Structure 1
Amino acid sequence: MQYDKSIKAYEKARNVIPGGVDSPVRAFKSVGGTPLFIKKGKGAYLVDVDGNAYVDFVQSWGPLIFGHTNKVIEKAVIKAVKKGLSFGAPTKSETKLAGIICGLYACIDKVRFVSSGTEAVMSAIRLARGFTCKDDIVKFEGCYHGHSDSLLVQAGSGAVTFGNPSSPGVPSDVTKHTLLAKYNDIESVKKCFESSSNIACVIIEPIAGNMGFVPADAAFLEELRSVCDEHGALLIFDEVMSGFRASLKGAQGVYKTVPDLVTFGKVIGGGMPVGAFGGRVEIMDKLSPDGPVYQAGTLSGNPVAMAAGLASLEQILEDEELYVRLEKKAKRLVKGLSEEAQKAGIALQVDSIGSMFGFFFNDAPVKNFEDALRSDTKRFAAFHQGMLQEGFYFACSQFETGFICDAMDDEMIDECLEAAAKVFKEMA
């Protein structure tokens, strides 16, 4: 495949956009080559500005559960646009979408809409602090919850892991309130609580998607719930990625653990920028204007985003077999990748839940970020480049999750596995 137009577009973009991209992972830094500039998407496919077509296993990093340019969502968006792009005032569509979410999640009585996953998480943490009247939070190494200051942390050097800023521009006075624990390791969580009696909440991706695809152990989540209850801390599930992706009820359709607050994004916007957070009424009623915890947003509940989200969720609710189909395709893909890698003598760890999947070029199973970092990123880069040449678009980082959309069929999966066999053989 030729990428001449993408190369020129990238050179031009670098003159006016930092790094030539508006989100760092898009720059292809970890896989090499030039980032593809996309012209259009249709169903399971992306088409770049050079005219190359790819089966898309990124799906805009999760939102497009029905694939690109879904007719129902497209129609709903066009209808909403004709009525106005933004009002800065309430609309009935916000209430309707919130009602669907509350009806599906037993732990959610009320929902507040925002414009991004980052904003949803930032607001949920503020609410947890306001509700508990405590300042510290616990997060897990490798879990990404957006780019707000208190969550851009890396491990400290002490025996108890207090967070240090992982980015210039983040004050240490902010991250000193963030404690880091090890994913799937309850003892590391207990150490955080031993070191601080001021912990407001623990936030976790119950199905991690930003250290690669790493699901939490069910027993670990149950123990996490118990520790939070023991110390009067709220448990926040970040389901920006797994919400309506892992199952109809996200991670809560997979695990028995019930959180206090949940954050959403991606699928609930159908491809439009959106975020949300919700929880029990006694917590949510602490939020302004009913309570003292302030949060606001000019474009929150944007009518076009609400229309897209409603069209997405209503289609999901109408299709009882949707998640069965998606899960079968995901399992078919990862099973095939594992078998083809094994034939080539390449170590590959694979996993999937619902329509989410992932794989690591690693000799051992991956249970946390430390395990993930032992993966062979050079091999992943070679695989990524090889699969692009074959017409398959995977996430451009070893540490990201892949997604199946309903527009994909078994023939596409089989063609992908044939291409993977060829690429694995070349790599070996």
Structure 2
Amino acid sequence: MKNEPVPHDISPLSAAASEALFARAKAVTPGGVNSPVRAFNAVGGTPRFIREAKGAWLTDVDGNEYVDLICSWGPMLLGHAHPEVQAAVLAAVARGTSYGTPTTPEVELAEAIVERAPVEKVRFVSSGTEATMSAIRLARGFTGRDVILKFAGNYHGHVDSLLASAGSGLVTHAIPGTPGVPESSTELTVVLPYNDRAAVTAAFEEYAGRVACLITEASPGNMGVVPPEPGFNEFLATTCQANGALFISDEVMTGFRASKQGQWGIDGKNEGWTPDLVTFGKVMGGGFPAAAFGGRADVMGSLSPDGPVYQAGTLSGNPVATTAGLTTLRLATDEVYDHITRAAETVKGAIEESFTTVGLPHVIQSTGTMFSVFFTDKPVRNFDEAKTTDEVAYKAFFHAMLDQGVYLPPSAYEAWFLSSAHDERAISRIIEALPYAAEAAVKVKA
């Protein structure tokens, strides 16, 4: 499959039905969406309302078909509507959708996660936000300390204490990143520049004996993919241990997605370190709202009902969601990861060729099967550098790809995802669309 040129008279796809639904949605839902990035505010235009999905493809309410490069923001490792996952879910639904009691699938899914990940015990919740919120509460309860360290550009859900932005200083007191979060909620959160060891050391010195935990995305994907520098996660783990704090590795996005064992399987397993707590989501739910946090047995032993730290959830461990997650993990074989890796390498190579041909500045960064494209000419190590990406060029690129039937993240600061269902037909459409989209991006820079 070569990067062949395509005609430049491509017209925008019809979005009349999506426009009508968007108008109805805005009348009853803030912004017309239930998660902000879906509104297309960062790229403009009308968000596409999807009618159905199968394999690597999305079909919107206007009948347009797109190759999907967001995969529900990561969970659809096997593609959409995988027949074996569907069959397992249908059988689970036939038995009932929620009991409010322990069930077999939640035990089996917990066993599968413990087998793959560096955790000894797991507690299920219903969202990644719940997972990080609960992990922080547990860390504070276990250590008896109150200060949290996090990194600028790392997203851990909409927990009040973690929705904080940083200034330019080495160690910065957090300020609320959104109205509705009082300063009292973030005053014990310290925000550091990512990949900066000196800042971490300085923070532990300034807050000696007070740091409950340091939380980081195992490999950030919410400012685009910005991998940890070699040895950085190991440095965080050993620094936390030396200072009596817990190291929380947020693998909601990377868990069972970046590799079979998540980001830890890439940079932790062979280096001999483990996090104290890990948060999971997305792939482990198989497309259903499910998440988890887990870790060392002694730390997890502080959690109710064994210990004093309270956490609960009516739908936690839901039998349908855990069945979907368990089936997905069982099907996520080495061959699946090999296929996705090869597909990602093919797409990245095509991007490199198209962008280089037209002289479009770019940096492609990846970890495992995840990658993203920055419209800048220098490697990105942290949030400040991520913000140098050319958002105007990305907007033009996004719409040019969309009009050719390729659905990219509607934001310049997101990871791109493929699945085991991305076959030659899907990859061919991406490759064929790239030259025209690259030229569209260059034109807005001229």
Q: Tell me if TM exceeds 0.5.
A: yes
SS of the residue aligned with 1:403?
coil
Output one character per residue of 1:362-391: Cα deviation in whole Å (capped at 9) or x when no partner.
111111111100110000111000000000
- Structure 1 residue aligned with 2:197, among 151, 171, 186? 186
1:273-288 aligned at under 5 Å gives the runs 273-288=289-304
Residue segments in structure 2 that go unaligned for 5+ positions in a row: 1-12
User: Hey, what does 1:366 align to over in structure 2?
Assistant: 380
Rounded to whole Å, the distance in 2 between the matches of 1:207 and 1:266 is 15
1:394, CA displacement in angstroms?
A: 0.5
Q: Does 1:49 align with 2:94?
A: no
Output one character per residue of 1:207-254: Cα deviation in whole Å (capped at 9) or x when no partner.
111001111112222221221112111111100000001111001110
SS of the residue aligned with 2:257?
coil
Change (3 A) 1:390 1:157: closer
1:193, CA displacement in angstroms?
A: 1.3
User: Hey, what does 2:127 align to over in structure 1?
Assistant: 116
- Structure 2 residue aligned with 1:163, among 174, 189, 208? 174
Rounded to whole Å, the distance in 1 between the matches of 2:27 and 2:291 is 31
SS of the residue aligned with 2:324?
helix
1:353, CA displacement in angstroms?
A: 2.7
Rounded to whole Å, the distance in 1 between the matches of 2:368 and 2:425 is 19
Q: Does 1:322 align with 2:336?
A: yes
Letter in 2 for 1:27: A
Rounded to whole Å, the distance in 1 between the matches of 2:441 and 2:383 is 25
In 2, are the aligned partners of 1:67 and 1:406 still within 8 Å (CA)?
Answer: yes
Q: Does 1:21 align with 2:37?
A: no
Rounded to whole Å, the distance in 1 between the matches of 2:369 and 2:237 is 26
Q: Does 1:311 align with 2:323?
A: no
TM-score norm. by structure 2 comes to 0.93
In 2, are the aligned partners of 1:264 and 1:275 still within 8 Å (CA)?
Answer: yes
Output one character per residue of 1:85-114: Cα deviation in whole Å (capped at 9) or x when no partner.
101110011111000111112x31110000
Q: Does 1:264 align with 2:280?
A: yes
In 1, are the aligned partners of 2:170 and 2:192 still within 8 Å (CA)?
Answer: no
User: Hey, what does 2:221 align to over in structure 1?
Assistant: 209
Q: Does 1:138 align with 2:144?
A: no
User: Hey, what does 2:97 align to over in structure 1?
Assistant: 85
In 2, are the aligned partners of 1:246 and 1:353 still within 8 Å (CA)?
Answer: yes
In 2, are the aligned partners of 1:355 and 1:405 still within 8 Å (CA)?
Answer: no
User: Hey, what does 2:45 align to over in structure 1?
Assistant: 33
1:158, CA displacement in angstroms?
A: 6.1
Letter in 2 for 1:283: V
In 2, are the aligned partners of 1:32 and 1:381 still within 8 Å (CA)?
Answer: yes
1:325, CA displacement in angstroms?
A: 1.2
SS of the residue aligned with 1:250?
coil
CA RMSD of aligned residues (A): 1.1
Rounded to whole Å, the distance in 2 between the matches of 1:157 and 1:410 is 46
1:195-206 aligned at under 5 Å gives the runs 195-197=206-208, 198-206=210-218
SS of the residue aligned with 1:218?
coil
- Structure 1 residue aligned with 2:85, among 54, 73, 85? 73
User: Hey, what does 1:337 align to over in structure 2?
Assistant: 351
TM-score norm. by structure 1 comes to 0.97
1:412, CA displacement in angstroms?
A: 2.2
1:179, CA displacement in angstroms?
A: 0.4
- Which stretch shifts more, 30-39 or 189-198? 189-198
Q: Does 1:3 align with 2:15?
A: yes
Change (3 A) 1:236 1:288: same
Rounded to whole Å, the distance in 1 between the matches of 2:437 and 2:167 is 40
In 1, are the aligned partners of 2:59 and 2:66 still within 8 Å (CA)?
Answer: yes
1:157, CA displacement in angstroms?
A: 7.0
SS of the residue aligned with 2:327?
helix
- Structure 2 residue aligned with 1:100, among 97, 112, 118? 112
Letter in 2 for 1:162: H
Residues paired across the two proteins, number = 425
Change (3 A) 1:427 1:108: closer
- Structure 2 residue aligned with 1:62, among 65, 74, 81? 74
In 2, are the aligned partners of 1:335 and 1:350 still within 8 Å (CA)?
Answer: no
In 1, are the aligned partners of 2:225 and 2:367 still within 8 Å (CA)?
Answer: no
Residue segments in structure 1 that go unaligned for 5+ positions in a row: none
Rounded to whole Å, the distance in 1 between the matches of 2:405 and 2:391 is 21
Rounded to whole Å, the distance in 2 between the matches of 1:215 and 1:157 is 21
Rounded to whole Å, the distance in 1 between the matches of 2:435 and 2:366 is 20
SS of the residue aligned with 2:379?
coil
Output one character per residue of 1:293-345: Cα deviation in whole Å (capped at 9) or x when no partner.
000000000011011011101111xx331111111111111121012101011
- Which stretch shifts more, 127-136 or 354-363? 354-363
1:160, CA displacement in angstroms?
A: 2.8
In 2, are the aligned partners of 1:59 and 1:403 still within 8 Å (CA)?
Answer: yes
1:130, CA displacement in angstroms?
A: 0.7
Rounded to whole Å, the distance in 1 between the matches of 2:256 and 2:275 is 16
User: Hey, what does 2:7 align to over in structure 1?
Assistant: none
